[in-house]
Structure 1
Amino acid sequence: MSFMLPSASPSTRSVVGVADDLCAALRGESPSLPRAQSAVLVVIDGLGAISLRGHAGHARSLTSGMTKRDVAQTVFPTTTAAALTSITTGVWPGEHGLVGYRVRDPERDVLVNQLSGWETDGLDPLTWQAAPTVFERAAADGRETFAVGLAAYARSGFTRATLRGAAFVAAASPEERVEAALALAEQHPGSLVYCYLPEVDKAGHKHGVASPEWVAALELLDGALSVRVPPGIGVVVTSDHGMVDVPYHRQVVLEEEHLVGIRHVGGEPRMLHLYRERDADLHAVAARLRGDLEGAADIVTREQAVASGLFGPVVRDDSLARIGDLLVIASGVRAVYDGTAEDQRSRGMVGQHGALTPEETRVPFLRRGVFAS
């Protein structure tokens, strides 16, 4: 079976390298952004470009002047752990190694959570994610760097893996976070400031895209980002991924008979990593799953995924060992669940992501301040 990646325009910007482009703008060397005194990178978790355009009336500040070109392509899988790390390191998941939500640690043969499980699952942020961050590179050039986010994230393993090199500044509300980011940029000329806004993602997971709660979160962020940008400051607003709603009747459940030969089920419902038993015939397992999930998901081997460039142009050996023997990439608005798992709480999620639909892969790329000129 051959696997074809969804097509994207060669001119479409990738979220990989966006932060480095901001640093280049500070030096006056960016090919696409004007020179700036300081730069602010705002990441709105979970906001797809298609969803944003579809709710432009609730985000008039964000969508003001937005054109079809004001988009970027995120990485695969379209999940926070992989995409945020690509944004802050400037490399693809195949290089930084965060190739999914939950993956197998090949040395211990256990599943680990790469978003929230650093402490409980025993991951060392400095070695599990060894790629230098943009903040470390900026600091090596003598620049001050800051990361503004919720206090709960200040000392997390994921923060140490992806934001190391930046001074963390905690602020509670979206308005306070944006205000703090702009103030830091103004008070520290030549600095790079990162600002993280997770409200839309949280509302989408719990209530769904376009729910009253999701719209309220979008309006909240739009208001926070409607403030005046100080002179000389350049701002880019983007996202790590978009989201689709998966109704309960579109959930597909894998029971024991479907998972014969599978040792571990990782990933997340729209992009599963399947790790086979050592004596299982990979091609036989893949053929069976393709029959079981026909029309609901694509079944792709690790080799096919790497050859197709799904994880980027370079896949390090340690990253390769974390990728499932088989990937289950959900089609349309479906999600595939491990029915044998003890914890079934994720089946309550409405908004989901991880796969390859345009709603998940296309994110906003909006310029403010001197970058808008």
Structure 2
Amino acid sequence: MTALDVVRPAYGSGSLAELLPSVGAVLGVPGATDVLGLGARLDGVDRIAVLLVDGLGAYQIPVAAPHAPILTQLAGRTLTSGFPSTTPVSLTTLGTGAAPGAHGILGFTTRRPDGGVLNHIKWDTDPDPAAWQPVPTWFERAGIRTTLVTKADFRGTGLTVAAYRGAAFAGADNPYALSEAMLAALAEPGVVYGYHPDLDHHGHVSGIDSDQWRAAAAVVGELITRLVEGLPPGAALLVTADHGQLDIPLDGRVDLAADPALGAGIAGVAGEARARYLYTRDGATADVVDAYRSVLGSSAWVLTREEAVESGLYGPVPPGHLGRIGDVVVICLDHTVVLAGGWEPPAVGELVAYHGSVTATEMTVPLLTYVRPPV
């Protein structure tokens, strides 16, 4: 499989949604099923650390490994993200054990009922996270000791509450503090989940395999090494990611604001550059679909909302969540993005790497495992 081949979400068999339920089954959570088959390797452990490295897709492992050799020293397999392959969708898919259609976090940004746009990364308490994301999280359901370790500023944010409510919170503002807090949580049986954001940032801003990205990859290696070396007996470490990334050349950038044919009939824009949501004026959906298919050709799937839902990319979507998806969904393939000048910050068009679509490099994430057996 090449990096640009299409990968569909493996809901129910091998996606991020199955990770924590499988972890719970290993630890004896009643009713949990080990869909991922973790039990054979994790037999005998009573405490598990799960580290999510933002942006460390499976296709980035070979690029990062020269700077983080630990990545190739751990047992590995792959999972898929959900769709869109973007941070808020994936974090909530992992945290709830549910597909995006069910939990309702359906894009980096989506439309609110009042017509405004909700940025899930900059979300506070409006709308109410427990109402906007109604599925009980895995942490609420698990019935065992669980801890979340992430940046202190993320305490109480909309995304944190939506994805992780039920876990005890520990703030950690640098990689060393993250490893220390995760290891401290392993002093007792249970699950600790940690989140590290920096690799994704440097991919977006400087590009995959840039000097800045390589330095960030080295820090990831140091973080994982500290966790491996500090695990107590009877503990396991699982390392995964929310998505991969893809550098997009300047000639692959289409701005809907620069082409009258692409701006016609549009009442609102959300999503992101690789998975664009278009909200159309009354009666304009068919014309918008035709215009985007004409301009983008084979470089994108241009689907109506109904077609996108029927494709299974989100899993089942209840009626109350349908309006969050665009009337038209543009899923970019190859090295293409659809920018939205005037609808989103200009900085979006200045990024180097993007994600959100269905290519293997965006959708495929690693699951690396290390076990320190019981004494």
**TM norm structure 2:** 0.90
Q: Which residue of 2 aligns with 1:265?
A: 269
SS in 1 for 2:170: strand
Check whether the contact 2:9–2:83 (CA below 8 A) recurs between aligned residues.
no
Structure 1 pair 159/8, CA: closer, same or farther in 2 (3 Å)? closer
Aligned mate of 1:332, from 331, 334, 339: 334
Q: Which amino acid aligns with 1:171?
A: A
Structure 1 pair 162/371, CA: closer, same or farther in 2 (3 Å)? farther
Check whether the contact 1:62–1:226 (CA below 8 A) recurs between aligned residues.
no
Deviation at 1:66, TM superposition (A): 4.5
Deviation at 1:174, TM superposition (A): 1.1
Give CA-to-partner distance per residue, 1:40-80, whole Å, 9 cap, x none.
Answer: 1110011111111233221211221445xx11111110000
Q: Which residue of 2 aligns with 1:242?
A: 244
Q: For 2:7 and 2:360, how far apart are their aligned partners in 1?
A: 9
Alignment of 1:267-306 (within 5 A): 267-280=271-284, 282-306=285-309
Aligned mate of 1:110, from 106, 116, 128: 116
Structure 1 pair 287/257, CA: closer, same or farther in 2 (3 Å)? closer
Q: Which amino acid aligns with 1:113?
A: N
Structure 1 pair 8/124, CA: closer, same or farther in 2 (3 Å)? closer
Give CA-to-partner distance per residue, 1:256-298, whole Å, 9 cap, x none.
Answer: 4322111111100111011111232x22221121001123322
Q: Which residue of 2 aligns with 1:355?
A: 357
**TM norm structure 1:** 0.90
RMSD over aligned Cα, in angstroms? 2.2
Q: For 1:371 and 1:211, how far apart are their aligned partners in 2?
A: 38
1:94 lines up with 2:101 in the alignment: yes
SS in 2 for 1:115: helix
SS in 2 for 1:257: helix
Deviation at 1:5, TM superposition (A): 6.2
Q: Which amino acid aligns with 1:116?
A: K
Deviation at 1:204, TM superposition (A): 0.9
Deviation at 1:218, TM superposition (A): 0.8
Structure 1 pair 11/260, CA: closer, same or farther in 2 (3 Å)? closer
Check whether the contact 1:47–1:363 (CA below 8 A) recurs between aligned residues.
yes
Check whether the contact 2:9–2:363 (CA below 8 A) recurs between aligned residues.
no
Structure 1 pair 53/159, CA: closer, same or farther in 2 (3 Å)? same
Q: Which residue of 2 aligns with 1:254?
A: 256
Check whether the contact 1:5–1:308 (CA below 8 A) recurs between aligned residues.
no
Check whether the contact 1:77–1:355 (CA below 8 A) recurs between aligned residues.
yes
Q: Which residue of 2 aligns with 1:366?
A: 368
1:214 lines up with 2:206 in the alignment: no
Q: Which amino acid aligns with 2:149?
A: V
Deviation at 1:125, TM superposition (A): 0.8
Q: Which residue of 1 aligns with 2:86?
A: 79
Structure 1 pair 9/134, CA: closer, same or farther in 2 (3 Å)? closer
Q: Which residue of 2 aligns with 1:194?
A: 193
The structure richer in helix per residue is: 2
Alignment of 1:98-177 (within 5 A): 98-105=105-112, 107-119=113-125, 122-138=126-142, 141=143, 143-177=144-178
SS in 2 for 1:279: coil
Q: For 1:279 and 1:328, how far apart are their aligned partners in 2?
A: 18
Q: Which runs of 5+ in 1 are unaligned?
A: none
Q: For 1:178 and 1:327, how far apart are their aligned partners in 2?
A: 39
Deviation at 1:16, TM superposition (A): 1.0
Q: Which residue of 2 aligns with 1:52?
A: 61
Q: For 2:248 and 2:370, how far apart are their aligned partners in 1?
A: 33
- The count of aligned residue pairs is 357
Aligned mate of 1:63, from 47, 56, 72: 72
Check whether the contact 1:12–1:73 (CA below 8 A) recurs between aligned residues.
no
Deviation at 1:371, TM superposition (A): 8.4
Q: For 2:12 and 2:319, how far apart are their aligned partners in 1?
A: 30
Give CA-to-partner distance per residue, 1:153-206, whole Å, 9 cap, x none.
Answer: 1222211111111111011221221221122112x22x1111001110111111
Q: For 1:371 and 1:128, how far apart are their aligned partners in 2?
A: 41
Q: For 1:72 and 1:286, how far apart are their aligned partners in 2?
A: 32
